């Protein structure tokens, strides 16, 4: 009798839960639960869940799909929603690396202007891939991490450089380093074991992975501000009613606004943490900075040409050359 009562109670709870949330989406995230990208994604999911019949559950740290798998998983419908670093997809379409052209947009204002100018082409490209765009979130400006002082190109020649997109791979090769592709979740082990010895990335990445345990130097290059994007499988999106879509879009707008604000607030703080934990923090000397900037023409035409083919009006709101 007790078993029957318990079974009936469980069934009632299940029915109530089903009634409260008619559909559940698992959201694939690549970064740790404590990273602000993941924290804001969790807030986005909670807002949607609280205000609609759709429940969104986040899975940070690559626990559902690894970072390199998320875009394909959402595109194929293996996950209905996920977040991916846009420029990591540049081999699929050069348009995706527009936010990672070195020194094209080096501050938050410039990064926002670049985003607004290129967003229509991004949305169109994703639509053609069967994906619905929700929001985009920036990383702080990119700095150069190295296990050795980088006072000259000779100092970094031949060292292993963690690359996360086509731009960083070409940058490594152009500066005489050896690129190796490593996802963020694997960084601590990679630096600890010597698989990686340098990289260009945001302060957020270094802080999350406590790279001061393995890396001695951080140079505040401010080369570009890459962005993540949250995308939805188009068939999953089409299956939502209009009221739920409106809730999701509102939550996405809120998440995007908060993420840009948070990234700017944290940018300087991360660098302070590096100093407090024993890293040598500074800027590249004039010769090294010039060496980085000499690489710009090798990158600029990739993303800009792809964007121009998608949206010719872009040239009227953004310069054709970085500077």
pLDDT tens-digit series, residues 28-83: 999 999 999 999 999 999 999 999 999 999 999 999 999 999 999 999 999 999 99
Predicted confidence band at 219 (pLDDT cuts at 50, 70, 90)?
very high
Predicted confidence band at 310 (pLDDT cuts at 50, 70, 90)?
low
Mark whether 242 and 95 lie in a shared domain: yes
Is 13 within the bounds of a domain?
no
Q: Can you tell me the distance from the alpha carbon of 206 to that of 211, in angstroms, rounded to the nearest whole number?
A: 5
Ordered DSSP codes for 189-223:
HHHHHTS-SEEEE-HHHHHHTTGGGT--EEE----
Res 284 pLDDT > 60 = yes
Is 320 within the bounds of a domain?
no
Predicted confidence band at 317 (pLDDT cuts at 50, 70, 90)?
very low
Is 298 or 73 the better-scoring residue by pLDDT? 73
Mark whether 63 and 188 lie in a shared domain: no
Is 179 within the bounds of a domain?
yes
Which of 143-152, 292-301, 307-316 comes out lowest in average pLDDT?
307-316
Mark whether 219 and 230 lie in a shared domain: no
CATH number of the domain at 175, please: 3.40.190.170
Mark whether 117 and 263 lie in a shared domain: yes
Is 115 within the bounds of a domain?
yes
Which residues form the domain of 190? 143-224+271-303
Counted domains in the chain: 2
| Contact (Cβ atoms closer than 8 angstroms) between residue 304 and residue 101 | yes
Res 95 pLDDT > 90 = no
Res 321 pLDDT > 60 = no
Identify the pLDDT of residue 312.
46
Which of 37-41, 87-91, 268-272, 310-314 comes out lowest in average pLDDT?
310-314
Q: Can you tell me the distance from the alpha carbon of 20 to that of 16, in angstroms, rounded to the nearest whole number?
A: 6
Identify the pLDDT of residue 15.
41
Q: Can you tell me the distance from the alpha carbon of 43 to that of 56, in angstroms, rounded to the nearest whole number?
A: 10
Identify the pLDDT of residue 91.
87
Paired sense of beta strands 143-146 and 198-201, if any = antiparallel
Res 10 pLDDT > 80 = no
Identify the pLDDT of residue 241.
98
Q: Mind listing the pLDDT tens digit for each residue in 108-131?
A: 999 999 999 999 999 999 999 999
Question: What's the burial of 211, exposed, middle or buried (CB within 10 Å: 0-12/13-18/19+)?
Answer: buried
Is 214 or 313 the better-scoring residue by pLDDT? 214
Mark whether 35 and 176 lie in a shared domain: no
Predicted confidence band at 94 (pLDDT cuts at 50, 70, 90)?
confident
Res 19 pLDDT > 70 = no
What's the whole-model pTM score? 0.85
Identify the pLDDT of residue 244.
98
| Contact (Cβ atoms closer than 8 angstroms) between residue 80 and residue 67 | no
Average pLDDT over residues 289-317: 62
Average pLDDT over residues 93-122: 91
Res 315 pLDDT > 60 = no
Mark whether 41 and 189 lie in a shared domain: no
Identify the pLDDT of residue 5.
41
Q: Mind listing the pLDDT tens digit for each residue in 236-261?
A: 999 999 999 999 999 999 999 999 99
Mark whether 66 and 179 lie in a shared domain: no
Helices (H) and strands (E) in the chain, counts: 12, 11
Mark whether 148 and 204 lie in a shared domain: yes
Mark whether 162 and 204 lie in a shared domain: yes
């Amino acid at each position: 009798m007790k078993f029957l009562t318990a079974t009936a109670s469980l069934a009632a709870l299940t029915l109530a839960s089903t009634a409260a949330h008619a559909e559940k989406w698992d959201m694939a995230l690549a970064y740790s639960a404590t990273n602000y990208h993941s924290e804001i994604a969790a807030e986005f999911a909670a807002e949607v869940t609280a205000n609609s019949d759709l429940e969104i559950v986040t899975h940070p740290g690559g626990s559902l799909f690894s970072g390199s798998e998320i875009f394909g998983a959402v595109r194929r419908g293996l996950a209905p929603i996920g977040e991916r670093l846009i420029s990591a997809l540049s081999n699929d379409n050069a348009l995706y690396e527009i936010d990672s052209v070195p020194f094209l947009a080096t501050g938050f204002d410039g990064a926002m202007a670049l985003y607004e100018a290129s967003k229509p082409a991004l949305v169109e490209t994703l639509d053609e891939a069967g994906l619905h765009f929700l929001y985009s979130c920036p990383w702080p400006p990119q700095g150069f991490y190295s296990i050795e002082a980088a006072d000259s190109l000779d100092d970094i020649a031949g060292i292993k450089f963690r690359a996360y997109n086509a731009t960083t791979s070409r940058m490594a090769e152009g500066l005489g380093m050896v690129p190796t592709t490593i996802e963020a979740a694997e960084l601590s082990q990679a630096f600890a074991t010597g698989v990686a010895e340098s990289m260009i990335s945001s302060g957020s990445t270094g802080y999350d992975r406590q790279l001061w345990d393995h890396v001695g130097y951080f140079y505040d290059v401010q080369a570009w501000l890459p962005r993540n994007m949250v995308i939805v499988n188009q068939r999953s999106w089409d299956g939502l009613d209009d009221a739920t879509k409106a809730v999701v879009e509102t939550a996405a707008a809120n998440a995007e606004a908060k993420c840009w604000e948070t990234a700017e607030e944290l940018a300087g703080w991360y660098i302070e943490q590096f100093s407090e934990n024993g890293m040598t923090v500074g800027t590249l000397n004039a010769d090294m900075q010039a060496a980085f900037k000499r690489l710009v023409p090798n990158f600029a035409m990739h993303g800009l040409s792809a964007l121009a083919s998608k949206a010719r009006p872009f040239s009227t709101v953004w310069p054709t050359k970085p500077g």
